[in-house]
Structure 1
Amino acid sequence: MTAISSNSSNMTSGEELAARVLLLTSCSLSLIGTTTIITTYVIWPKIRSVARQLLVFLSVADFLVAAGNAAGTIGNGDHDAGLFCKLQSTVTTFANLCSFFWTVVIASYIFISIVLHRSDVARNLVPVYHMICWIIPAAIVAAAFIADVLGMPDTNKYTYGWCWIRSDLNVHKMRMWMLVTGKGWEVGAYIVTLVLYMIIKCYLWINKHTTHAHFQTAPEAATVQRINRKMTLVPIIFICLRIWGTIRFFLSQANHLNAATQPALIILQGIGDSGQGWANCILFCLLNYRVRERLKKACFNCLCCQCVCDDNEEERQQLDPQRVNSLRSVYSRVDDLSTESSVNETQAYAHSDA
């Protein structure tokens, strides 16, 4: 259905296979990465903060992007091409727009908190962020859906494997809807994010000797320093991942997309357009000391639990039924004694408090 033949993209069968494998790998890693970000936020209250909460909402959007791109790539003729493609385009377009908006919102939140010293205002703006990042993309996609412009694109020029804007529209209408439903907001996100982070970096560099005066405690100052180190990576990663699809789009608009550059741009776009989920997981989970240590501890506990269960299973298989029944009887008595002891200790403690 949405699969692309090598002829349509001027790629050899080997290049097409490599592009498809890399795209699906990037999608899978992003699904794992976004799930990790969301799960760690839910199960570990101590790492919750407003900034990480915003990251969770961005991860929800990135999860939908990766899932939609993967679904479009592995889609086949068993589906109703028109309906499936239109639904996939609807979900993916909405998710991409949400991802752009949340990326800019996180940059603005850090700008307001650090440069303007108004963390309280930044926290109070969270409901406004939700209205901007969910309602505006929903309105744009609803307008595109009603206008019946979502569907199979010219995959030779704009996407690889997933549906977006129908290619049977006239050139001006197709270009307008591509800008409205994606590329215009994407370029805007590049500019705003880059400008905000440059301002934040310059501010922190200028005030590096007075940081402790603005942040009263050493932990707060250390947090700002860690943010400063990661600040450089955030816009760079976002732009480096998404820029390839943007380059491909503008080259196609200028009729400069040729067979020499096409395969490389397709592979890079396939990886990058679906890659923000795993990139954010690396930056904000694996490179975050608190989260990394908790993940290591959780993995260690899971492995230890599995090893203990395996050892107990081997021991049970080696015991004869009579021995097993005898052990069960002993364990039952021990449990009863432990329960009684706990009750007695609790009562004694209650009396002592009284």
Structure 2
Amino acid sequence: MSPPAPPTELMPSERIVVLLSCVLSALGSGLLVATHALWPDLRSRARRLLLFLSLADLLSATSYFYGVLRDFEGPSWDCVLQGALSTFANTSSFFWTVAIALYLYLSIVRTVRGQGASRLFWAFHIVSWGPLAITMAAVALKKIGYDASDVSVGWCWINLEAEDYVLWMLLTGKLWEMLAYIMLPLLYLLVRKHISRAHEALSEYRPTISETHQLRGRSSVADKKLVLIPLIFICLRVWSTVRFVLTLCGSPAVQVPVLVVLHGVGNTFQGGANCIMFALCTQAVRTRLLQVCCCCSSQSPTTETQEGPPAASAPIKAGKSQGPSWAPDQQLST
């Protein structure tokens, strides 16, 4: 194996871009947590999983922000602390992302309900928060430390001076990341195929053409989102994998500025991407956010009173338009 490349020096412009990505990701994760707290009727099981994913992404963005702002130049106590927090949060985010895909597959395709879903949630918690044990072991064995920004962008991760640093890079992130590359597209492909078959079967019994078109319109939105979820995940995370491979090969290409920026944005913007997908591009959530903005911008109490009844009736109308049997999770998928 070739020796590691020299330390990667971060330019001010690169740091600004990655720091902005961290801020946007933290804001997006916070918005998802706020929507879960504000509107109890949107708390489906799938959105409960999204809540825990958002918490992991929020911790990840915060720890990455400190690391990029600090731009460590050597080992230190806060380097180990930041590396441990980002390692745990980032790996936990992988597991929660796969948990959402697995839950949608089991609830839509396998129709898991009731006690089975409750037991499944306990399993998700055990597995998805499990990286805490791996992180604690890495800290205890002094594996987390300064990595010269070759497998990071200013923050700390696995100490490149450790003899078995490749093994610990795999255990603390890369192995689970590469498994997610495989599992996410596979699960969402199976869900999408099941939905399309279900709607084809339902369309044969639809008495009117207009109802069929409405059903297909809703399913097309879900299908697009099912495609985008694994695609966005891979597009964001693949750059860190590329730099990981280049570091193992000792290639100087690991320091290419464009690749460094893509790695920094990809690792830190997961919370922002989830916010765009599950809040800004979800009609039920987007409508309520617009209503809140309108209420905040209104000046007189009379205007707020007049706008009150439509805001209360909007969720009821949205709820009546639910179509197929997987409607309880449609608030996450559409």
TM-score by length of 1: 0.75
Change (3 A) 1:284 1:181: same
User: Matches of 1:76 and 1:233 in 2, distance apart?
Assistant: 33
1:219-298 matches, within 5 Å, as 226-258=221-253, 262-298=256-292
Deviations 1:120-150 (A, max 9, x none): 333441111111111x211111111111111
Tell me the residue number matched to 1:181.
Answer: 172
- Partner secondary structure for residue 199 of structure 2: coil
State the one-letter code of the partner of 1:32. L
Aligned partner of 1:63 in structure 2 is 58
Q: How many residues align?
A: 289
CA contact (8 A) 2:26 2:272 kept: yes
Instruction: Classify the secondary structure of the residue corresponding to 2:200.
Output: coil
Assess, with a 3 A threshold, how the Cα gap between structure 1 residues 26 and 76 changes in structure 2: closer, same or farther.
Answer: closer
Residue 72 of structure 2 is aligned to residue 86 of structure 1 = no
How many angstroms apart in 1 are the aligned matches of 2:242 and 2:108?
A: 33
Residue of structure 2 aligned with 1:200, choices 181, 185, 191 = 191
Identical positions, percent: 36
Map 1:63-212 onto structure 2 (within 5 A).
63-75=58-70, 82-120=76-114, 121-134=116-129, 136-155=130-149, 157-170=150-163, 173-211=164-202
Q: What is the distance in 1 between the residues matched to 2:13 and 2:185? A: 32
Q: Give the number of the structure whose alpha-carbon radius of gyration is greater.
A: 1
Deviation at 1:230, TM superposition (A): 0.9
Question: Which residue identity does 2:140 align to in structure 1?
Answer: I
Offset of 1:161 from its aligned partner? 1.0
Alignment check: 8 A CA contact 2:199 2:216 kept: no
* Corresponding letter in the other structure for 2:78: F
Residue 232 of structure 1: SS of its match in structure 2? helix
SS of match in other structure, 1:239: helix
- Partner letter of residue 240 of structure 2? G
Alpha-carbon distance in structure 2 between the residues aligned to 1:80 and 1:251: 21
Name structure 2 gaps, 5 residues minimum. Answer: 1-5, 206-210, 302-334
- Give the match for residue 33 of structure 1: 28
Query: Counterpart in 2 of 1:9?
Result: 8
**Paired amino acid for 1:19:** E
Cα distance in 2 between the residues matched to 1:243 and 1:180: 17
Alignment-mate amino acid for residue 167 of structure 1: L
Provide the rounded CA distance (Å) in 2 between the counterparts of 1:55 and 1:223: 21
Counterpart contact for 1:58–1:102, Cα < 8 Å: yes
What is the Cα-based RMSD across aligned positions, in Å? Answer: 2.7
Q: CA deviation at 1:82?
A: 1.5
Contact 2:188 2:230 (C-alpha < 8 Å) held by counterparts = yes
Structure possessing the higher relative contact order (Cα contacts under 8 Å, 6 or more residues apart) = 2
Opposite residue 138 of structure 1, the aligned amino acid is: L
